[in-house]
């Protein structure tokens, strides 16, 4: 029994690491959350269909890349998967009986959306932390952000920026402007209640806040830290 358990754990460990390594280069065709929505499609309170369209990095507007960082994880470029300050603030809020604020980084959300299921159990949280460590160790930041914007839910049954841009703005993801990107990012905390198509006053105010944060972070220039330009050739000196 001990050898069987050890073999099982080793197999699961190898499978999880292998999956994360593979997805560094292979685009995931679906996620656990998308499968869940597809199975429930058509039920009362569920969307009739699920839309998901993968868009490669160079075909995604830089504005949506900056918008999700500004809205969800402003320390994304500097942390290693966990925002310890936000976690401490969330724990302090819980102790005071206040509403617990979200403390998940983009990497944690990728780990949850890609491999796991919704919920707040300690088992799921532990697995989320495990996959977060693997992703941060094995993927560059650019890949984490690329996967995030391609699997995040931007509306009920609308997954990924490709489907969101076509559904809500009738344009490809590459042509999203800053206000449109900020509006998409504004609904990320709860895309089933917050609507891009009919934004509430709160969503519109959040859109304006995100636009301000985008400017404060340096706008699309922030992405140079992900994709530094190729080195310029030295000019030849004239003889």
Tokens of 173: 């993801």
Tell me what pLDDT residue 124 has: 83
Residue found by looking up tokens 């998409």 in the block: 184
User: How many helices and strands, by DSSP H and E, does the chain display?
Assistant: 10, 3
pTM: 0.85
Residue percentage of the chain with pLDDT more than 90:
57
pLDDT at 84 over 90: no
- Ramachandran angles phi, psi of 82, nearest 5°: -135, 135
Please give the radius of gyration of the chain, using alpha carbons only, rounded to the nearest integer.
20
For the four alpha carbons of 177, 179, 180 and 183, in that order, the dihedral sign comes to positive
Set out the domains of the chain in order of their start, with CATH numbers: 11-40+47-224 (1.10.3810.10)
pLDDT at 47 over 50: yes
Tell me what pLDDT residue 94 has: 54
- Among candidates 65, 185, 31, 78, which has minimal Cα distance to 39? 31
Where does the pLDDT of residue 239 fall: very low under 50, low under 70, confident under 90, or very high at 90 and above?
Answer: very low
Top-confidence residue, 201 or 232:
201
Tell me what pLDDT residue 109 has: 94
pLDDT at 74 over 60: yes
pLDDT at 95 over 70: no
Residues 6+ apart with CB under 8 A from 31: 113, 114, 115, 151, 159
DSSP letter, residue 51: E
């Amino acid at each position: 029994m001990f050898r069987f358990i050890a073999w099982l754990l080793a197999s699961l460990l190898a499978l999880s690491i292998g999956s994360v390594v593979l997805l560094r280069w292979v685009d995931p065709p679906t996620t656990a959350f998308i499968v869940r929505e597809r199975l429930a499609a058509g039920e009362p309170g569920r969307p009739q269909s699920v839309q998901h369209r993968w868009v490669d990095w160079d075909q995604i507007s830089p504005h949506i890349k900056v918008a999700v960082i500004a809205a969800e994880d402003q320390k994304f470029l500097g942390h290693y998967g966990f925002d310890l300050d936000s976690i401490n603030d969330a724990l302090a809020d819980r102790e005071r009986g206040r509403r617990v604020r979200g403390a998940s980084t983009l990497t944690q959300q990728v780990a949850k959306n890609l491999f796991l299921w919704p919920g707040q159990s300690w088992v799921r949280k532990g697995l989320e932390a495990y996959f977060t460590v693997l992703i941060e160790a094995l993927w560059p930041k650019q890949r984490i952000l690329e996967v995030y914007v391609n699997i995040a839910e931007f509306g009920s049954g609308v997954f990924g920026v490709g489907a969101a841009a076509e559904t809500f703005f009738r344009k490809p993801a590459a042509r999203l402007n800053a206000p449109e990107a900020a509006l998409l990012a504004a609904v990320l905390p709860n895309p089933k209640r917050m609507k891009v198509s009919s934004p509430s006053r709160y969503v519109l105010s959040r859109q304006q806040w995100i636009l301000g944060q985008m400017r404060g972070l340096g706008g699309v220039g922030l992405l140079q830290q992900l994709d530094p330009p190729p080195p310029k050739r030295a000019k030849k000196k004239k003889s």
